[in-house]
Chain A
């Protein structure tokens, strides 16, 4: 399952409004215009699949959002761009906010002029007219490769993320004070069969915060889960805004007298939350209490220096091809995060 194959799948659909989502032109209508046939079904179907959606419409923002809300559709759209500027620009903005490539975008607009304008700036986008839009969900590139618990909730995950980002922007004061406002809860548990694809998705998406740059298929992970010489651990984070979903993966090989971190990766969404440090502190404490040595594999990529620093600052030093932990001067767990470790992992903090 290569990356190129993945890129072919649509991750975000951007909708025009007038004569695409609804009949007629809003500013020329007496009331709220009626939705065009199948539009609601398509929007709901895509949302269920974890395909993100947004709006690029030349309109007055307030009446347009009011009309979407009247149809109960406003909640489905992330970073809607309703203004008089060009749609190519609107799409650039949406892509930037969502942090996904425009080559995974689809754009639906009834006007050939608008589709051409967008294509002239973003030749990699896929454009569609409003005619036959009910067929879109049956297209292969509109069908995600895997449906996981996280992909079904992807829109909500992004919406929470936007709330957090705004809260952080508005917050005056040092970062630890902000973290204390979040009520963070970190949960570590052995990956189950249903976590497999979430874990695979994480390894495919997380480049910056991957300690070896190696990705694992669901099949490989399934074998490791079954192996008694390995622990495959999923990290889930939650705060007062709700769940972040699966944000980290830890692959341990358990050897006599030694645990080795074969892979440690974290979603870049949580790199300012201190999750990596907390996991390593818990693991170091466990190894010390169980009188095990702790090692880690690290393979430098052009993007994972942050993980190297995380390891080094958690007391790992280079020894040949390995990183070895001193298991000395282990800091206390921070007070701003609750940690829950599944008993089945047999980690020992006491």
Chain B
């Protein structure tokens, strides 16, 4: 199985919202101060659309979405679970 990395896609998505020039993959986007309800929703929908799965309540955890690294790790885990 090839390990697809989603980091660049996540970054491209986040750049629609965050103007901070050089945030690192491990930076906490919630600490950067800007996550509106709409953005949070779109973040979840982005993951669901990319992977073609629904993110269940228990996975709607801030820790899964805090940073590019965390989101990527979460998406890797999700796709492994989804595709066995």
Contact = CB atoms under 8 A, between A and B. Distances in A.
A272 B35 contact: no
Interface string B1-42: 000000000000001111110000000001101111111110
Most buried by B among A307, A331, A336: A331
B44 interface: yes
Contact of B19 (A174, A307, A334): A174
B62 A315 contact: yes
A240 B81 CA distance: 48
Interface SS majority for chain B: loop
Nearest to A179: B34
A69 to B, nearest CB: 36
Interface stretch (A78-86, A230-238, A273-281, A340-348): A273-281
B33 A306 contact: no
Interface residues of B, number: 24
Contacts of A275: 36-37
B31 A309 contact: no
A170 interface: no
Chain A, interface residues (CB within 8 Å), range: 20 to 34
Given A313-B62, A332-B31, A173 B19 contact: yes
A209 B31 contact: no
A266 B41 CA distance: 15
Contacts of A176: 17-20, 33-34
A271 interface: yes
A277 B61 CA distance: 15
Interface string A293-306: 00000000000011
Nearest 4 interchain pairs by C-beta: A334-B33, A274-B36, A272-B38, A176-B34
Interface of A: 173-177, 179, 209, 266, 271-277, 305-310, 312-315, 317-318, 331-336
20 contacts: A173-B19, A174-B16, A174-B19, A175-B18, A175-B34, A175-B36, A176-B17, A271-B41, A274-B37, A306-B40, A309-B44, A309-B60, A310-B40, A312-B60, A313-B30, A313-B35, A313-B60, A313-B62, A331-B31, A332-B31
